[in-house]
Amino acid sequence: MALDLAIAPAPARGRWSANALPIGMFLIFAVLPLVAPVAGGGYLVSLGARIMIFAVAAVALDLLIGYGGLISFGHAAFIGLGAYSVGILSAHGITDALIALPTALAVSALYAFLTGIVCLRTTGVYFIMITLAFGQMAFFTATSLAPYGGDDGLTIAARNTVAGFALIKDERVFYYAVLACLVGSYFFCRALVASRFGRVLRGAKENPVRTATIGFNVYRFQLAAYVIAGALAGLSGFLLANATEFVSPAYMSWQRSGELIVMVLLGGLGSLNGALLGTAAYLLTEEWLAGFTENWKVIFGPVLVVVVLFARGGLIGLWAELMRRLGRG
C-alpha cells in the first residue's frame, strides 16, 4: 500500500498548479513582441529578452543551490566566459553562431570542470569562498585582456550569423531564439531533476554520507551538476553578448553572482519555477525603482528581507499558497 501511494501520479489539480506558472510566463513572453508596438515598442522586447537571458542562468544556479545544496558565488564567471567566447571569436572574424555557441558552451563547461574538481573537495562556507575566488580570478583575467578591451570591455561589430545568414539580426527573431533557449533549458533541468540523477543529487544534499553509503559517488554527481550549470550559464553569456553586442568584465563580477543568488532566493529555492519568477520579479523591480532613484538597491534590500522572512519559500511559496486557496474555493 505504501509503495502504491509513493508511486501514484500526482492529482490533476496538483499538476496544473505546478505547471500553470511556467506555462503562463512562457505565454506572456511569447505574446510580448506582438503587443509591444502598442505598449512600449522595442523597450519591452529588449527588457523581455534580458529577463529570459538571466532566467537561463538563474535556472542553472537553482539546480546547484536548490537541488544540490552547492552555494556558488562564482556563477557569473560562466556567463562572462560564454560572452567573451563570442566577443573574442568575433574580434578574429569568426561570427557564425554554429561555431560561437558550441565554443561558449565548451569553454564554460571546461572551466566549470577544472574549477569544480577543486571546489567540490570542500563544503559549506569553504565552498562558497573558493567559488568566489575562482570567479574573481576569471574577472581579473578579463580585465587584463588589453587586446580585447581590458576594463573597457569589447564591442562586437554585429550579432552572430547562423550558417552565414543574418537571421538573429532581426530583433523579433532573436527574441524568439532566446525564448526557445529558455524553454529548452527549463525543461532540460526539469527532466534532470526528475531523473535518477536528480534524485541522487537531492539525496546528497540532504545526507551525503548516507547517499555515499548506498553506493553512489556523490562527488561525481555533484561535479556533473556543476559542469551542466556552468554550460547553461555559458549559454546565457552567449545570448547576452549577442543581445548587447558588447562584452565586459562586469559580466563575471561577484556582484553579478550575488544578484543571481538573490533572484533564486527571491523566487524560492529548490524550484525551477521560482528561478523564473524570481528573475522576472528582480529585473522588473530594478527597472521600476531605477526610475525613481539610482540608489534603488537601498529600497529593494528591505523588500527582499521581508520576502525572505515572511514569504515561506519565496515568491513561489506565495504562488503555491494562492493555488491552494483557489483550490479550496
216 in any annotated domain: yes
* Whole-prediction pTM: 0.89
205-208 long-range contacts, CB within 8 A, separation 24+: 205/67, 205/68, 205/69
Q: Is residue 325 included in any domain, yes or no?
A: no
Residue 318 lies in a domain: no
Print the domain residue range for 108.
Answer: 38-253
Per-residue pLDDT tens for 210-239? 988 888 899 999 999 999 999 999 999 999
Q: Which of 146, 153, 112 is nearest to 253 (CA)?
A: 153
Three cell numbers at 55? 532566467
Q: Is residue 97 part of a domain?
A: yes
Grid coordinates belonging to 38: 502598442
- The sign one gets for the Cα dihedral 55, 61, 67, 69 is negative
Tens digits of residue pLDDT in 84-96:
999 999 999 899 9
Q: Is residue 44 part of a domain?
A: yes
Q: Which residues contact 95 (CB under 8 A, 6 or more apart)?
A: 89, 157, 158, 160, 161
Nearest CA among 301, 309, 252, 304 for reference residue 278: 304
Split into its structural domains, the chain has a count of: 1
Residue 295 inside a domain? The answer is: no
- 307 domain residue, yes or no: no
pLDDT cut 70: percent of the chain above it = 91
- How far, in Å, CA of 86 to CA of 245, rounded? 9
Query: Comparing 313 with 186, which gets the higher pLDDT?
Result: 186
User: How far lies 231's CA from each of 103, 201, 235, in Å?
Assistant: 10, 18, 6
The answer to whether 137 and 76 are in contact (CB under 8 A) is no
149 within domain boundaries: yes
